[in-house]
Amino acid sequence: MEKINQIYVNGEFITPHGTETFDLISPVTNQKTGEVVLGDETDTKLAIAAAKEAFKSFRKTTVAERVTYLEHLHEAVSKKEEELVKIMVSEYGGTLKFSKASVKNAIDSFTNMIEVLKTFEFQRIVGKSKVRLESLGVVGIITPWNASNSFICNKFATAIAAGCTVVVKPSEMSAAQTQLLLHCFHEAGLPKGVFNLVNGLGNVVGAEITRNPDVAKISFTGSTLTGKIIAKGAIDTMKRVTLELGGKSPNLILDDADLEKAIPAAVFGAYMNSGQACIAPTRLLVPENKLEEVNALAKAAAALVQVGNPMNEQTHVGPMVSIKQYERVQDYIRTGMEEGATLLAGGTGKPDGLQDGNFVKATIFTNVRNDMRIAREEIFGPVLSIITYKTEEEAIAIANDTTYGLSAYISSTDLSHANRVAEQLEAGRVVINEFKHDPLAPFGGFKQSGIGREFGVYGLETYLETKAILD
């Protein structure tokens, strides 16, 4: 049984001052696999102090030096690619396919930032003035469990590119994944104090990062609820915040879409990362006169979805990360039935033969109205809602009738038609036909899906402070 009893401060693995422990539980078997000793406020203050000290010299590094550090990080993380995939599957329960893609994204974060640095202008002339984009300071990085190392790598790579130092607080449920990543970062040989990490609870370590006056910015990925707590706390010291929060993304199947292609893709898309994805297209908007055909295609697609052991290459949907998350998804499935939606596939309970782990049946509701809770709230499990529209205008109105605005998806055989619709959607990313990813394009939410953007130039700018010099 693994006991994780180390945090990383000022270039060293140290035993935390905190003594409380948190059990690590396999989502496949619900057996305890290890435990992590949680850091406390003292540990967090120590890590912040180390980052503050390191910032004094790190802010002065040249772009060429930062590129070298990013190259070392890339090399060190790449070497452990296979192990990082394995541990993501075993600790989190991510499917093998998703975990491979997620670790690849983590590794690519470093080269993406090198790419951005090639042309980024830290000094510009605006009007008659010199404008300098300067490193912000110590950045607090707080991350969730659903793609832990990928979030940490992306945020850390951006901080390095900007000349910032960091203190990371990962999800306590990702301690084993984080430990392996930490060893990669240690091997990369960065100056002491540039990277610090404290395992711990949100209301202890996260809260200290939020209130500490020596933290200049917080980059947070997680739920909208926690994002609001952090934003409220951060305002006392006027910290900059980047918040990547929840979503309830619409998937618009336009009248001219090829249903045979679009509907199966929509079903599998909704189940990306076992449904535990902030960008999952969970509201499927379809023309009312095509509902029967859509239902038949969606049901057939759901029958092909393999729920099961995440280690298996064929598995599409693995277990929910925890019993709590499993129960939450079950509650929503019951709610959908009580609200009068029609169950087209799946339902409550575990799939046959999968009684031990946190497995949920691949579920689809049809005849869903957009005012039902299952259409408004983020479920974070493999549950898709089919909603009909009469006109394209109504489809756009339904798509935008949500407190969220992270992603939106459109299927159409006419690209200019899809683009016209895309311009009317309130979402930080609109993806047309197939599930594409662009790591250099900005990523982030409209409305309650967040504040600010990550990735590429837009991401880098949020780690910098703007100074105009009028001489």
Interaction site with ligand NAD (CB under 6 A):
142-146, 169, 171, 201-203, 206-207, 210, 221-223, 226, 229-230, 244-247, 278, 378, 380, 406, 450
Q: Which is nearer to ligand NAD, 84 or 207 (CB)?
A: 207
**Which residues are CB-contacts of 352 (< 8 A; sequence separation ≥ 6)?**
none
Q: Residue 383 phi/psi, 5° resolution?
A: -130, 120
**Cβ distance 455 to 440 under 8 Å?**
yes
User: Which token pair is 436?
Assistant: 């594409």
Integer Cα distance of 226 and 247 in angstroms:
14
Q: Residue 368 phi/psi, 5° resolution?
A: -90, 140
User: Which token pair is 189?
Assistant: 């040989």
Shortest gap between Cβ of 377 and ligand NAD (angstroms)? 10
**Cβ distance 246 to 223 under 8 Å?**
yes
Which of the residues 184, 208, 278, 378 is marked catalytic? 278
Q: Tokens 């596939």, residue?
A: 345
Q: Which is nearer to ligand NAD, 263 or 277 (CB)?
A: 277
Shortest gap between Cβ of 65 and ligand NAD (angstroms)? 29
Residue 123's Cβ-side half-sphere holds a number of Cα atoms within 13 Å equal to 5
Integer Cα distance of 151 and 170 in angstroms:
9
Q: Which is nearer to ligand NAD, 146 or 358 (CB)?
A: 146
Shortest gap between Cβ of 408 and ligand NAD (angstroms)? 14
Shortest gap between Cβ of 381 and ligand NAD (angstroms)? 11
Shortest gap between Cβ of 248 and ligand NAD (angstroms)? 9
Q: Which is nearer to ligand NAD, 321 or 410 (CB)?
A: 321
Q: Which is nearer to ligand NAD, 202 or 319 (CB)?
A: 202
Shortest gap between Cβ of 208 and ligand NAD (angstroms)? 9
Q: Which is nearer to ligand NAD, 206 or 319 (CB)?
A: 206
Q: Which is nearer to ligand NAD, 26 or 105 (CB)?
A: 105
Q: Residue 445 phi/psi, 5° resolution?
A: -110, 150
Shortest gap between Cβ of 171 and ligand NAD (angstroms)? 4
278 given a catalytic annotation: yes
Edge-to-edge strand ranges of the sheet holding 7-9:
12-14, 7-9, 195-197, 165-169, 138-142, 217-221, 240-244, 450-451
Which of the residues 172, 208, 244, 454 is marked catalytic? 244
Give catalytic residues, as residue numbers.
244, 278
